[in-house]
Amino acid sequence: MMRVAVVGGGISGIASAFYLMQRNIAVDLYESEDRIGGRIGSEQLHGRWLDFGGKNIGKNYVLFRDFVKKCRDLDYEYFGFNTSQLIGGKVVRISKEGAKLFNTLRFIGLCGFDGILKLYPHVRAIIKDHRQGVLNSDYFNNIAEHHDDVSLAGYLKEPCLSQIIRPVTVRMNGAEPDECYPGNFGSNLALVIDSYEQLKHGMHGMLDAFQAMTKAPSLNILTGHKVTSLSRDQVTGSISIGYTHGDVQETAIYDRVISALPAIQLSVIVDNILPDASALLRQIKYYPIAVAIVKYRRNVFMKTHRAMVFDQSFSLSNAGAYGINDLDLVRYTFSGRTSRTEISENSDPEDVISLGEKIAAQYFNIKDNTREAFAYRYISEGLCAYSPKHYRLLGNIDKKLEPLTGFIATGDYRRGASIEACFRAAGECVDKLFGDLN
C-alpha cells in the first residue's frame, strides 16, 4: 500500500490530507505543535475556544465550504464588514451593511481618481472570473510582467496608498505598500470584494470535525512530530523523513511527500540536499504578527462601529470586535513596520495589550473597562508578502525541487494566504502527484 506524508498541520496541510483521503490514499500528517491548525489555531478563553486567524469565510470559498460540508455540515452566521479609519483627524466609517450607494461613493473617494483608474480593471477581472483572484493567475502574472519592477507604493498614488492599499497589505501580508507588488495584489483584492460569514462554532469546530476522521484508517495525525530533514533513496525511489518526537530523533519512509510548510520553514529542511531550492525559498518574504484577543467586563463596541484601522505611525494595525455579537471581545492585531520596531517575540503580552489599549481607547469603550482575560500569540513568520514577479520565482523553485522525485510543495505562498487559496493550491499539488481526477 502506498505511504504518503504531509508535513505541516496548518490549513494547507489539512487541505492536502483531505484531498488525499478523497482519493482513498492513506496519509500521515506531521505537525510540530501539540495540535493542528497552525495560524488558524484556537485558544481557550473563559471556557470558550477562540480563533486567531482565518475565521472569516468568504461567500466565494467554494472549495473550503465543500470541505466543511464533507467533514461535518456545520452552520454559518453572518459577520459583515464594518470598520473605520482615521483620516485627517476624522474617523471615517466604511461598511457593507446597508447604504450601498453611499458606501460605494465613499470608497471611490478614498481611492481617488488614480486609484480607481488602476484598480477597477483588476476588480472587474476578478468579478468576471474568481479564479484570477489568487497568486500565479494568468491575469495578474501579466500585471506582474509589466509592473512588478516597482512596489505598490510606486504603482499607486495617494490617497489610495494610505487609505485603501496600506490597510489591506498590513492586515493581510503584515507588510507596507513598498514591500508588496502589483502582480500579487489580486489575492488581496479578491478578499476585499468578497462578503463574509463565520462558522457558528468557530474554526475549532471545523478542526474537531477533521480530527474525528482519524477514526478512519486513512488518516493518522502525528502532533508533536517536527520534521527536520528529507532525503531520497536512489535505489527504491522512496523518501526518508527525519523527525523529532520529544527528545528522540527518528525516521520514516514514504512513497510520496507533500510539504505544507511556510516557504521559510521548508527552506531549512531542504537546505542540505537542495541548497539552490532553499535559497530561492528564502526570497519569499514573511513578516511577524502579534494578535491578542481580550475579554472585557462591558461592551467595548457599538454594533454600528465595530473596528478601527490605524495608520503607519501606530504599532497597532487594527482593533475590532471578535464577532458581530461579541462586542466585549476585542481582537488586537499588531503588524507593519512600526510594529516590528516596537514588538518582538520577547515582548511581554500584557505590555503589548496595554499598548493596544492606549491607542484604541480614544475611539472605543476601553478606559475604566476591566480586562477580564486574554489570549495572545506572536508569530515570527506570520504573514507572507511573496516576492516581485512571484510566478517566475515559483517556477524556478519547482525546477530546483524536481530532483526530489515524489516530493511536492504547497502552502500560503502558492496561491495566496486565504483559506480558499490554500485549498486550491493543495488540490493542485495532489493532482500533480497523482493525476487530475477531472
Output 435 or 5, whichever has higher pLDDT: 5
Q: What is the pLDDT of residue 103?
A: 59
**Hey, is 383 helix, strand or coil?**
strand
209-247 pLDDT per residue, tens = 888 876 667 899 999 999 999 999 877 889 999 999 998
Sheet containing 56-58: order of strands:
56-58, 196-199, 76-78
160-184 pLDDT per residue, tens = 999 999 999 999 999 999 999 999 9
pLDDT over 60 (residue 430) = yes
Q: What is the pLDDT of residue 364?
A: 95
Q: What is the pLDDT of residue 437?
A: 59
Query: Is the backbone of residue 279 left (phi > 0), alpha (psi -120 to 50) or beta?
Result: alpha
**Hey, is 251 helix, strand or coil?**
strand
* Mean predicted lDDT score pLDDT of the chain: 91
51-77 pLDDT per residue, tens = 888 888 999 999 999 999 998 888 888
Q: What is the pLDDT of residue 436?
A: 66
Contact (CB, 8 A) for 106 and 91: no
Output 45 or 394, whichever has higher pLDDT: 394
Largest CA distance in the chain: 69
C-alpha grid cell, residue 104: 460605494
Single-letter code of the amino acid located at 174: G
Give the whole-angstrom CA distance, residue 34 versus residue 269.
20
**Hey, is 373 helix, strand or coil?**
strand
Q: What is the pLDDT of residue 217?
A: 74
Residue 372 CB contacts under 8 Å (≥ 6 apart), including other chains: 46, 295, 296, 297
**Domains (range + CATH), the chain:** 4-44+60-74+200-284+387-434 (3.50.50.60), 97-194 (no CATH), 286-385 (3.30.70)
Q: pTM for the full model?
A: 0.94
Contact (CB, 8 A) for 229 and 242: yes
